[in-house]
Structure 1
Amino acid sequence: MSNYQKFIESKVVAAPRSGFVVKPEDLHESLFPHQRDCTVWALYGGQRAIFAGFGLGKTRIQLEICRQEYLRSGKPCLIICPLGVRQEFVEFDGLALGMTVEYIKTEADAVLTTTPYHLTNYERIRDGNIDLSRYQCVCLDEASCLRSLGSKTYIEFNERFQSVPSRYVATATPSPNEFIELLNYASFLGIMDVGQAKTRFFQRNSEKADNLTLLPHKEEEFWLWVSTWALFVNKPSDLGYSDEGYDLPEMQIHWHLVDTSKEVEIVGRDGQLQIYKDSAIGLAPAAKEKSSSMQLRWNKAASIIENDPGHYLIWHHLEDERKLIEKNTDRANVKTVYGTQKDDLKEKLLIDFANGKYPILATKPEIAGQGCNFQRHCHQAIFLGINYKFNEFIQSIFRIVRFGQTKVCHIHIIYTDAEDHIRRTLLRKWKQHDRLLANMREIIGRYGLSGDATIAMRRAMGVDRIEVKGDRFTCVHNDTVLEHERLPDNYFDLGITSIPFSIQYEYSANYNDFGHNASNEAFFHQMGFLVPNMLRTLKPGRIYAVHVKDRVLPGNFSGLGMYSIYPFSHDTVRCFQQHGFVYCGEITIPTDVVKENNGTYRLGYSEMLIDGTKMSVGVPEKILLFRKLPSDQSNAYADEPVTKTPEAYSLAKWQIDAHSFWRSSGDRLLTPSEIATHDLQYAMKLLRAESAHTVYDFDRHVAIAEALGKAGNLPTDFMAVDPQSWHPDVWADVVRMRSLNTNQGQRREQKHLCPLPLDIVRRLIDRYSNPGDLVGDAFGGLMSVPYQALLMDRRGWGCELNYDYFKPGVKYCQQVERKQAIPTLFDTINNQEAA
């Protein structure tokens, strides 16, 4: 097993290093000590992110990084920044470092300039105006554009910047509530693919894409991993220096509640008047509330300005709000910056406000909430409304609450009574934001900038083997590869397992975990150590049933710009065939296409209306059936065949099961309008019963669904009118709720990421084994297979690496044995009658 151990040890990785060593004394003398440390650390890594507090000098750090990269390579360097930030690099910090920084718009500008230090905006890169192949280094200033996975900017950046040898990100502290932002930074820098990072650290919500929950047992490892490629600095003291001169100005938050309930009559969905207005929970209700309360909120903002005239920064979210501001203000004193303006005009207006040339600026956080420094002349901000986007909110505040601000900052936030839920959400996220900063400061204090955090990242390698046996079951806590090595030949009568879906999920914080691999190729390399032993331990002629599902790949990962499917089932077939199994068929298990769309956003109805070619189909689960060749291949019977009796399995049943088409019994079909009049649950029951016993009529199926929709009974969160199957190898009626995860939920214990429905296990055991047979599962999980085997008068065996799954799985098996060992009242009566 030495080769296997070497493979496991090869999984230990940290952030790759591609930089070079620079001594602090070789940096520009104008840099402050904390800025020198950040620069040295970033250059040593080569692909790094600097998340520095507002006003700590990210601009100067980026410029010095470019200067050092140019001195070493002789190739030009590029800084990309938001609109309105140009003067910070060109006129202030660039001159302080003795660097000539030139703003470029096109490739022609880049060719004609004589300086190696170039500056441009994100829009120029996104639209392909500049050839990036000439650059040695690129720095992204305030790189929040990478926060939006799948956006045009994100896809463009990930594709076009891979040719740039040195890539850096310099931005304020990212939002801890949006883990996808951190993962996108890691992907851009070449640290780790987003999908791999999701698999390694997060529990994903299968019903909503990118709703990530950091697994509790991986929290410390995640932040240690982040600290190997991202430096969080909120104050100079985080790196051991004095904070003198870096105290943020005092900030006073003023929440202004606007009561809208008295303005209009509130009518509920049922047409009845309401005393109180419903809370604006969710994006659609929040947008509706913001639109309906616009005039009242502006009246409040106008009164704030009237009571205390001066320079104000007004943040709004709607175009109609911008038009209302323009209509009700003096256009000489109030300027608005919005999306359809030309970039040059937008930038001029932002710079003029920063320099105090007019007193009031109104714009959106998405336009000027990043990078702009307005603290020189403005110390008051008004949020005309609020939404759920915390990162935009906090970034917008710190356009004026910055080092160098000499006055108390007043932040006025206007919200309605129906938006109190949003206010509480923002406050909760703010606390999480503060916890992130404290967490990263603690890591830096513990490990410094030397990279010692990578040592602490080493997760467990292997486990102490535990074996629990009952009268008719065996459960083992171990690496399944190592455990299969211990087993004798021809041990199992039937194998049923749900193998890990390549690198889709990790199931334990252990290097031996099959999900903890860098690629699909690495996953199947590890499977290559297991599958030969799965074949060896299976009796000749018997079946190994393997549960799989093909994986959905977002377009930004594949580079295709559209969702595609990785045929995981095909690679699984090849792997098992390569190691001696005979592939002999598959069973199809359809999935809920509506839930799948909610989880991936790839089957969207609205997108289909725009272009039907984008409409794909749901990805079914499959049971792949593999057979070990029998000793006697002349008749292909198993050495120990699975036999049936005519009493248990009649000729008539076989003929009907084997046929692919079932005739109608002749009963009259219910009309779509009749079905639609029933409540949803009963309508679903009627439809499925009819679908399973009548000739299928596609037009009628659509008519029923449309009738349910018109009656308001067609849900959008799951599929209520899924087609039923008549074919014995297409199982459309699997009850997914019926798994051991139901028991785990009731016990409030950890649920399995991919529970195997017990209906599937039961059917496979009934179809491919005899009573008394030993049924094994190489990836036992919650021990669903041995559990179900015990219920069906078989013996069970399972191996599981994750102890949090293994422990309750053992209990489930023990409960079955205890229950079967206790005679019931009817057993006692039958025994007495027999006597």
Structure 2
Amino acid sequence: MDTTGIAAPLRDYGLFPHQRDLAEWALRRGRAAIFADTGLGKSRMQLAWADMVHRETGGDVLILAPLAVAEQTAEEGQSIGVAVTHAREGADVQPGITITNYDRLHKFDVAHFVGVVLDESSIIKHHAAKTLQTLLDAFVATPYKLCATATPAPNDWTELGNHAQFLGVRSRAEMLAEFFVHDGGDTQTWRLKGHARQVFWRWVASWGAMVRSPADLGHDASAYALPPLNVHQHSVETEHNPAHGLFAMEARTLMERRDARRNSLVERVRACAAMVNADRQPWVVWCDLNAEGDALTAAIDGAVQIAGADDAETKEQRLHDFAHGKIRVLVSKPSICGFGLNWQHCARMAFVGVTDSFEAYYQAVRRCWRFGQSRPVDVHVFASQQEGAVVANLKRKEQDAKAMADAMASETIGAVKENILGRAKEFNLYEPQRRISLPAFLEAA
């Protein structure tokens, strides 16, 4: 179903120039993805987009968000004069913009809405996931669609293909058939055709804007300079088990690292709790195992845990209380609340067990280290000696991710600027340095 975009002038929502450019472009498209790095204001952009769709069409718009982000977005809307109804049931829907959590989608009549926004839309990156198919089926006929998430990992073709399919641009299978080939006999590994690279990225940039900084669109980025991020590793000693050999060897495989974490759980929790208890500042303490979360909550004064087994209402209330200063120390996993939340009031963070996903670690850190943070952010990683140089490994992954993102940006930024800002006509002015001399036969004529 083709959608006519909205060309009406954007109202004044207090947007920064790069936010206005992206919101206006997404409106002109009707169906688009804003891949903007953390802290660039995706919430405000999607609110402006949703409000304009509602005003111009007269229809209602649904925003789907991760747990507890719904309330945060409604508060953001209030700050810019956009009314947003935080609904938990279909009966709560009011004319205009409604926001709810992804896990409550089944309680709403999606046919009622002319527009939908997927906040933190990386939720659809796994093409075999039930959530993706539910969203594809639910909004296949929705005229206006917007996806908003951080810049996808370079070479994550599945995430790009799923976004294109959700937006109705092209199916994932069609994208793979046109631009990719199989690598060997592995049907899960796809490689971008060499001759199609430029065409592919220009196609992506026609519906998805990848922006890492306001400077990518030619705007001043000085306001987005973040305070220092200080990452510290604390290695704890554990008693060596002779059954594992004469000497304690550094863990190398995933299973060995998990064993090292389990064996050092008591020591890591004790070291972290001592640091957090000696400081009265707000803290976020991330764990990787359920046992870590339970032990940290018991050892840290006033700590409150958000666990996977908690119901949605309990999770929302505890996230609200932490964001508003009613809880000093929050204990949880990056997979539960490592996406979309703004915790600039907190500048202390600890990882007592680091996930093997660099994306999850990076997103967890960016809950506090983001635009609006006024203090240096200190991140403390507690690991056993057997786990080796965890922070050094994280920094290596960070450098690799940056190098890949730089390469992707070089492929896309020209096309993104052209699509968002329009192509500027180029002139090659001729300034003669001497008078022209005509041939004799022309002079005779």
Paired residue type of 1:103: H
Residues 1:316 and 2:287 aligned together: yes
Of 163, 174, 179, the match for 1:196: 174
Of 338, 342, 353, the match for 1:369: 338
Residues 1:226 and 2:194 aligned together: no
How far 1:48 moved relative to its partner? 1.1
Partner of 2:251: 279
Partner of 2:90: 107
CA distance in 1, matches of 2:110, 2:216: 35
Paired residue type of 2:249: K
Q: Deviations over 1:388-427 (max 9, x none)?
A: 2121111111000011111001111223344348766644
Assess, with a 3 A threshold, how the Cα gap between structure 1 residues 453 and 72 changes in structure 2: closer, same or farther.
closer
How far 1:101 moved relative to its partner? 0.7
Contact 2:273 2:299 survives alignment (8 Å): no
Partner of 2:55: 71
Partner of 1:354: 323
Q: Deviations over 1:266-317 (max 9, x none)?
A: 435xxxx2423252423x4443333222222212312332454421111112
Partner of 1:20: 5
Assess, with a 3 A threshold, how the Cα gap between structure 1 residues 365 and 205 changes in structure 2: closer, same or farther.
farther
Assess, with a 3 A threshold, how the Cα gap between structure 1 residues 293 and 226 changes in structure 2: closer, same or farther.
farther
How far 1:147 moved relative to its partner? 2.2
How far 1:214 moved relative to its partner? 4.6
Partner of 2:66: 82
Assess, with a 3 A threshold, how the Cα gap between structure 1 residues 240 and 207 changes in structure 2: closer, same or farther.
same
Q: Secondary structure at the match of 1:138?
A: strand
Q: Secondary structure at the match of 1:279?
A: coil
Contact 1:83 1:368 survives alignment (8 Å): yes
Residues 1:54 and 2:38 aligned together: yes
Map 1:182-193; keep pairs closer than 5 Å: 182-193=160-171
Contact 1:30 1:96 survives alignment (8 Å): no
Percent sequence identity over aligned pairs: 30
Paired residue type of 1:267: A
Q: Deviations over 1:202-238 (max 9, x none)?
A: 4546676645555555544443332222112222222
Q: TM-score, normalised by structure 1?
A: 0.48
Partner of 1:587: none
Paired residue type of 2:167: L
Paired residue type of 1:356: G
CA distance in 2, matches of 1:334, 1:310: 12
Residues 1:406 and 2:378 aligned together: no
How far 1:86 moved relative to its partner? 2.5
Assess, with a 3 A threshold, how the Cα gap between structure 1 residues 325 and 214 changes in structure 2: closer, same or farther.
farther
Q: Secondary structure at the match of 2:231?
A: strand
Q: TM-score, normalised by structure 2?
A: 0.86
Q: Deviations over 1:113-165 (max 9, x none)?
A: 3x31100001112xx11111111110011123212331221221122121211
- Note the aligned Cα RMSD (angstroms): 2.8
Contact 1:224 1:453 survives alignment (8 Å): no
Q: Secondary structure at the match of 2:140?
A: helix
Contact 1:34 1:239 survives alignment (8 Å): yes
Contact 2:342 2:368 survives alignment (8 Å): yes
Contact 2:36 2:42 survives alignment (8 Å): yes
Assess, with a 3 A threshold, how the Cα gap between structure 1 residues 325 and 148 changes in structure 2: closer, same or farther.
same
Partner of 1:98: 81
CA distance in 1, matches of 2:135, 2:381: 35
CA distance in 1, matches of 2:205, 2:357: 25
Q: Secondary structure at the match of 2:419?
A: coil
Contact 1:381 1:412 survives alignment (8 Å): yes
Contact 1:281 1:422 survives alignment (8 Å): no
CA distance in 2, matches of 1:218, 1:417: 47
CA distance in 1, matches of 2:187, 2:109: 33
Provide structure 2 residue ranges, at least 5 long, that are not aligned to the other structure.
Answer: 424-445
CA distance in 2, matches of 1:429, 1:180: 21
Assess, with a 3 A threshold, how the Cα gap between structure 1 residues 99 and 336 changes in structure 2: closer, same or farther.
same
Contact 1:315 1:383 survives alignment (8 Å): yes
Map 1:427-506; keep pairs closer than 5 Å: 427-443=395-411, 445-451=413-419
CA distance in 2, matches of 1:413, 1:291: 15
CA distance in 2, matches of 1:179, 1:431: 21
CA distance in 1, matches of 2:65, 2:56: 24
CA distance in 2, matches of 1:255, 1:321: 18
Assess, with a 3 A threshold, how the Cα gap between structure 1 residues 382 and 41 changes in structure 2: closer, same or farther.
same
Partner of 1:341: 310
How far 1:361 moved relative to its partner? 0.4
Contact 2:381 2:391 survives alignment (8 Å): no
Contact 1:20 1:46 survives alignment (8 Å): yes
How far 1:441 moved relative to its partner? 4.3
How far 1:79 moved relative to its partner? 0.6
CA distance in 1, matches of 2:18, 2:3: 22
Map 1:681-720; keep pairs closer than 5 Å: none
Q: Deviations over 1:632-653 (max 9, x none)?
A: xxxxxxxxxxxxxxxxxxxxxx
CA distance in 1, matches of 2:404, 2:351: 25
Assess, with a 3 A threshold, how the Cα gap between structure 1 residues 80 and 336 changes in structure 2: closer, same or farther.
same
Partner of 1:415: 383
CA distance in 2, matches of 1:56, 1:453: 18
Partner of 1:120: 100
Q: Deviations over 1:222-258 (max 9, x none)?
A: 4333222211222222211112322222111112333
How far 1:171 moved relative to its partner? 1.3
Contact 2:181 2:193 survives alignment (8 Å): yes
CA distance in 2, matches of 1:414, 1:17: 52
Assess, with a 3 A threshold, how the Cα gap between structure 1 residues 451 and 235 changes in structure 2: closer, same or farther.
closer
Higher relative contact order (CA 8 A, sep 6+): 2
For this pair of structures, how many residues does the alignment match?
A: 423
Partner of 1:293: 264
CA distance in 1, matches of 2:107, 2:259: 38
Higher alpha-carbon Rg: 1
Q: Deviations over 1:434-477 (max 9, x none)?
A: 2344345445653453339999xxxxxxxxxxxxxxxxxxxxxx
CA distance in 2, matches of 1:132, 1:151: 20
Assess, with a 3 A threshold, how the Cα gap between structure 1 residues 17 and 446 changes in structure 2: closer, same or farther.
farther
Q: Secondary structure at the match of 2:308?
A: coil
How far 1:318 moved relative to its partner? 1.1
Of 244, 250, 267, the match for 2:222: 244
CA distance in 2, matches of 1:276, 1:208: 37
Residues 1:153 and 2:122 aligned together: no
Map 1:786-797; keep pairs closer than 5 Å: none
Assess, with a 3 A threshold, how the Cα gap between structure 1 residues 423 and 244 changes in structure 2: closer, same or farther.
closer
Q: Deviations over 1:180-219 (max 9, x none)?
A: 2222222222223223333444454667664555555554
